């Protein structure tokens, strides 16, 4: 048998080396490269003009606007301990849907449950602020048409719109003509949705405020009778001055005939808009075991001219307005709050 030539020997060496390189690449390459993406990469992320990243929203849930905070990233100074309620960074979005960053989160822990941040923006772009003395976060706006439409579409809930074609039903106007039970259902749906998508932990839930909580947010000094800062109405002691709120046209204090876009009038000391006027707000009685079949409403609306509807009355007041829980009204909406789950 003749010896292989030098050329044949060189080719066999190169072939063997190529085989070794292929084996090495096979065992060191990441699993599924080019065919699979991580769960985080599949999460919807808002458009970012600075990076050119386009939105990727799952076809089965077109109402999700942003990724959960736990799936967003930021600098070390922004995120120290990942948590769904305390770490959210600002993302680029259309001007009318801008999502703001949650800052100033508290690290206080009570009974193993982290405290709420001072500010919070949820998956629908609803902004919340802390109200002293309540341990709750209040939405700064009345629940908007756009917020409720997300719920109605997901749950196939019918919303009877006003018959008057001039009555505004645009996205940034307050939702009206919903019953107490529908407002409660909205809170439960939003809680379940955000727990499932990582926005909330099981410790927190959305709900309607009690009368006392609403008073704390509207005019807390009224709870201390005789206080030097006690006020008769949410804006002070005078009958409503021009431009303070959207009230009945007969009062001639604003230029709106019906509802107005949320945030059209000055916010109160805590940053809450329309705490009085525009649409009155469904609330809960302070006693959760009450057998009353009606439900309280506070704040007055564009449809109310009675002074007693606007008073900063405490929960024991006989002037507290109420309505049949199963009926909606054109001057009645709701504001939601976020706090610990009531068990």
C-beta neighbour count of 317 within 10 angstroms: 13
**In this structure, how many other beta carbons lie within 10 angstroms of the beta carbon of residue 78?**
14
Q: Look at residue 94 in the predicted model and tell me its pLDDT.
A: 34
Task: Please report the DSSP string for 238-294 in residue order.
Answer: SSPPTTS----GGG-SSS-SS---TT-S---TTS-S-SSSSSEEE-B-S-TT---SE
Using an 8 Å Cβ cutoff, are 227 and 221 in contact?
yes
What CATH class has 124-343? alpha beta
How many whole angstroms from its chain centre is CA 71? 17
- Residues contacting 128, CB < 8 A, separation 6+: 119, 120, 121, 122, 137, 138, 139, 140, 337, 338
Are the C-beta atoms of residues 332 and 262 closer than 8 Å to each other? no
Task: Give per-residue burial for 205-230: e unless 16+ CB within 10 Å, then b.
Answer: bbbbbbbbbbbbbbbbebeeeeeeee
Give the Cα separation of 24 and 18 in Å (integer).
10
User: pLDDT at position 308, please?
Assistant: 73
pLDDT at 180 (0 to 100): 95
Q: Are 161 and 307 in contact (CB under 8 A)?
A: no
pTM: 0.67
Please give the share of the chain, as a percent, with pLDDT higher than 90. 37
Annotated domain spans of the chain: 38-121, 124-343
pLDDT for the residue 13:
67
Q: Rounded to an integer, what distance in angstroms lies between the CA atom of residue 311 and that of residue 215?
A: 10
Contact 207, 216 (CB under 8 A): no
Length of the chain, in residues: 343
Q: What's the pLDDT at 226?
A: 47
- How confident is the prediction along the chain (343 residues), in pLDDT tens digits per residue? 555 566 666 677 677 777 776 776 666 554 443 333 332 222 332 333 333 323 332 333 333 333 343 332 222 222 223 335 534 323 333 333 333 333 333 445 445 556 778 899 999 999 999 998 888 999 999 999 999 999 999 999 999 988 898 899 999 999 999 999 999 999 999 999 999 999 999 999 999 999 889 988 988 765 554 444 556 778 877 888 899 899 999 999 999 999 999 999 999 989 999 998 999 999 998 887 787 888 988 888 998 777 777 777 654 444 567 888 888 899 999 999 999 987 6
Distances (CA, A) of 87 to 8, 67, 68, 187: 64, 12, 10, 22
Q: Strands, E, within the chain: which ranges?
A: 109-110, 113-114, 119-121, 127-131, 136-139, 204-207, 280-282, 294-298, 322-324, 332-333, 337-340
Distance in angstroms (rounded) separating the CA atoms of residues 136 and 115: 10
Residue closest to 286 by CA, chosen among 185, 216, 220: 216
Q: How many CB atoms lie within 10 A of CB 175?
A: 27
Classify residue 165 as exposed, middle or buried by CB count within 10 Å of its CB (0-12, 13-18, 19+): exposed
The pLDDT value given to residue 113: 58
Q: What is the pLDDT of residue 88?
A: 39
């Amino acid at each position: 048998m003749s010896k292989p030539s030098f050329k044949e020997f060189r080719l066999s060496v190169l072939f063997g080396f190529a085989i070794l390189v292929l084996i090495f690449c096979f065992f060191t390459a990441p699993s599924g490269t080019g065919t699979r993406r991580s769960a985080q990469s599949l999460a919807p992320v808002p458009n970012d003009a600075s990076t050119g990243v386009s939105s990727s929203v799952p076809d089965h849930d077109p109402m999700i606007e942003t990724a959960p905070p736990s799936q967003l990233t930021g600098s070390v100074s922004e995120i120290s301990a990942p948590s769904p309620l305390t770490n959210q960074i600002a993302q680029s979005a259309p001007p009318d849907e801008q999502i703001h960053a949650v800052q100033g989160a508290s690290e206080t822990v009570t009974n193993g449950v982290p405290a709420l941040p001072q500010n919070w923006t949820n998956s629908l772009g609803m902004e919340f602020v802390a109200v002293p003395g309540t341990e709750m976060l209040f939405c700064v706006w009345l629940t908007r048409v756009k917020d409720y439409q997300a719920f109605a579409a997901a749950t196939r809930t019918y919303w009877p719109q006003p018959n008057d074609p001039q009555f505004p039903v645009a996205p940034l106007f307050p939702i009206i003509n919903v019953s107490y039970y529908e407002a409660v259902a909205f809170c439960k749906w939003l809680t379940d949705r955000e727990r499932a998508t990582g926005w909330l932990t099981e410790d927190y839930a959305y709900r309607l405020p009690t009368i006392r909580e609403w008073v704390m947010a509207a005019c807390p000094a009224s709870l201390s009778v005789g206080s030097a800062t006690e006020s008769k109405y949410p804006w002070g002691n005078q009958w409503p001055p021009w431009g303070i709120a959207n009230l009945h046209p007969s009062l001639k204090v604003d230029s709106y005939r019906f509802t107005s876009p949320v945030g059209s009038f000055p916010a109160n000391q805590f940053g809450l808009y329309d705490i009085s006027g525009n649409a009155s707000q469904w609330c809960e009685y302070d006693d959760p075991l009450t057998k009353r079949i009606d439900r309280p409403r506070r704040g007055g609306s564009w449809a109310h001219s009675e002074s007693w509807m606007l008073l900063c009355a405490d929960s024991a007041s006989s002037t507290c307005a109420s309505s049949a829980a199963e009926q909606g009204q054109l001057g009645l909406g709701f504001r939601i709050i976020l706090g610990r789950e009531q068990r």
